Structure 1
Amino acid sequence: MFATRAARPGLKAVTVARPALSNNYATLREIEGRLKSIKNIQKITGTMKIVASTKLARAQKAMSDSRTYGQNSNTVFEKAETKPLESGKTLLIVASSDKGLCGGIHSQLTKATRKRIAKDPNVDIVVLGEKVKAPLARASGKNIKLSFSNVGKNIPTFMEAQAIADQIIQLDTQYDNVEIIYNAFKSAISYEPDAIPAFSEEVFKNSANFSAFEIEDEQLPNFREFALANTIYWALAEGHACEQSARRNAMDNASKNAGEMINKFQILFNRTRQAVITGELVEIITGAAASAES
């Protein structure tokens, strides 16, 4: 049987006394922890900047080599006066990568692709890299016919571009016009989206000056695949150089911002510590004076 309320012994709540933490001390620990975090971030961004700077030199060399391939292929179309068909089926190849931490390089490429899709909503899309695939899939998922991952981890090679071109040519739809949208390298601090055209055998065969080239009909498919691989290689190499340049600039800006934050928090830490020390000295002096009077 449980005892009734009247029969229960009176209980008295006992509060265990705990030492109160100083607000100033807690604030100092918080500021010190924030300083350590920002300094660690600055070390990481500084290291990434050095790595990107090293990779940029090799990426620029590969970009120069790829331009030789791509521009020579485009020279043939220019001299043949090849022009895209107004009513032909168009394929957009978006040359991106799988890596981030490189500023707005992928978002600019996405915006340029969306503008191109707005002009012709029926275009098909092939995406190279995962960074552009996600935003394009949300708005134009039905237009994406093929996508490639693991792009941009290393310096692009012609063999990779040739493998991509082979997969694109095996698509069921026959495309009259092909546009490769990529980031064009302008300088170490400047890049902008651009497009390189490519054409089918029929469009090239119907060019105004096609007769000036001694190309047999059996050789046209091979030439088209080779020209497409050259152009994709050019676009990937240019985009890789832009990515390394953008990553270096982004990490440089992040390091500078971290340095500014460190200076601000260091000043705040010094002022708060000085205030704590002054407060403790005032308490000691006041206590000593009170003891002397008593």
Structure 2
Amino acid sequence: MFYRAARPALQRVAAASTRPAQSNNYATLREIEGRLKSIKNIEKITNTMKIVASTKLARAQRAMSESRTYGQTSNTVFDKAETKPQEGGKTLIIACSSDKGLCGGIHSQITKAVRRKLLETPDADLVILGEKSKAQLGRSSAKNIVMSFANVGKDIPTFAEAQTIADQIFQLEKDYDNIEVIYNNFKSAISYEPGSVYAFSEDIIKSSANFTAFEIEDEQLVNLREYALANTIFWALSEGHACEISARRNAMDNASKNAGDMINRFQILFNRTRQAVITGELVEIITGAAASEDS
């Protein structure tokens, strides 16, 4: 009785739904299922990276606090001596980034800050720490780059690494009046912005307003300058490393949330498509049964 009552409607549905459309539904269902598996795998990766970054962040913050203490104490001498950059002097800009990505726009912030400085002093030379900023600045300011360092940011920076970088910089043929180190300044776990610290030449240190209050001999002044630059680079690298770990954790957290939203949307689409396929198959079965009964 049900077959006879539903026969006219079923025949119209069967005429409207053809075999190619059914095949397309099957193909779409497989595509959605493949996409779901891919997004779920990505979510697992981003969740794992977020956990790893969270465990590294506490250690990076402790190292940053220690380096900040040494760096600020070292610069106290120049603050009390009222040492200031020389206008029109030869300037070297040190950009502190790293080789690693997947941490938002933290390296782009350094690049933008360096470009703003180059607008003020277009003849300044560049020393770049890390491949990320080097790749970005190499497209716009390649003529300013005099030295670059790779393999930066793989682990927590050490003073020995900073000292090695400072020694390489002092081996450059030019004698710079002002050395400005640009780095990411750690504000909080979700806030960081570009900052800068200056290092000075011996002549500028001697010409400071209150330099005579410190009874520093010329031989000691050379050591003070080298130590101050190494300490400043160490401070900048440690701050930048903590910012990078924090930014990576936030980026992976956002990526995991976005992956979860995509999984929910594709799961709903998959369920609807599968229901449409099942409904089509039921229509074919009922239509076939009705046709068999007529024959």
> What is the TM-score of this pair, normalised by structure 1?
0.92
* Cα distance in 2 for residues equivalent to 1:78 and 1:151: 30
* Cα distance in 2 for residues equivalent to 1:109 and 1:83: 23
Task: Quote the residue 2:37 is aligned against.
Answer: 36
Task: Quote the residue 1:175 is aligned against.
Answer: 176
Task: Quote the residue 1:162 is aligned against.
Answer: 163
1:138 Cα deviation after fit? 1.5
Task: Name the amino acid aligned to 1:23.
Answer: N
Task: Quote the residue 2:280 is aligned against.
Answer: 279
Deviations 1:203-239 (A, max 9, x none): 0111000011021011111100000010000000000
SS in 2 for 1:198: strand
Task: Quote the residue 1:236 is aligned against.
Answer: 237
Is 1:101 equivalent to 2:102 in the alignment? yes
* Cα distance in 2 for residues equivalent to 1:67 and 1:26: 59
Kindly indicate which of the two structures has a greater share of residues assigned to helix.
Answer: 2
Task: Quote the residue 1:62 is aligned against.
Answer: 63
SS in 2 for 1:151: coil
Task: Name the amino acid aligned to 2:169.
Answer: I
1:69 Cα deviation after fit? 1.2
SS in 2 for 1:22: helix
Task: Name the amino acid aligned to 1:123.
Answer: A
SS in 1 for 2:118: helix
1:102 Cα deviation after fit? 0.4
Task: Name the amino acid aligned to 2:163.
Answer: Q
- State the identity %: 77
* Cα distance in 1 for residues equivalent to 2:31 and 2:145: 49
Q: What does 1:75-114 align with in structure 2 at a 5 Å threshold?
A: 75-114=76-115
Task: Quote the residue 2:134 is aligned against.
Answer: 133
1:22 Cα deviation after fit? 1.4
* Cα distance in 1 for residues equivalent to 2:261 and 2:50: 17
1:135 Cα deviation after fit? 1.6
> What is the TM-score of this pair, normalised by structure 2?
0.92
* Cα distance in 2 for residues equivalent to 1:281 and 1:124: 74
* Cα distance in 2 for residues equivalent to 1:122 and 1:24: 63
Deviations 1:130-152 (A, max 9, x none): 10011211211111111100000
Task: Name the amino acid aligned to 1:270.
Answer: N
* Cα distance in 2 for residues equivalent to 1:186 and 1:265: 38
SS in 2 for 1:185: strand
Q: Which runs of 5+ in 1 are unaligned?
A: 1-18
Task: Name the amino acid aligned to 2:35.
Answer: R
Point out 4+ residue stretches in structure 1 off by more than 2 angstroms: none
Task: Name the amino acid aligned to 1:75.
Answer: T
1:292 Cα deviation after fit? 1.1
Task: Name the amino acid aligned to 1:113.
Answer: V
SS in 1 for 2:103: coil
Is 1:145 equivalent to 2:146 in the alignment? yes
SS in 1 for 2:141: helix
* Cα distance in 2 for residues equivalent to 1:252 and 1:235: 26
Number of matched residues? 276
Task: Quote the residue 2:120 is aligned against.
Answer: 119
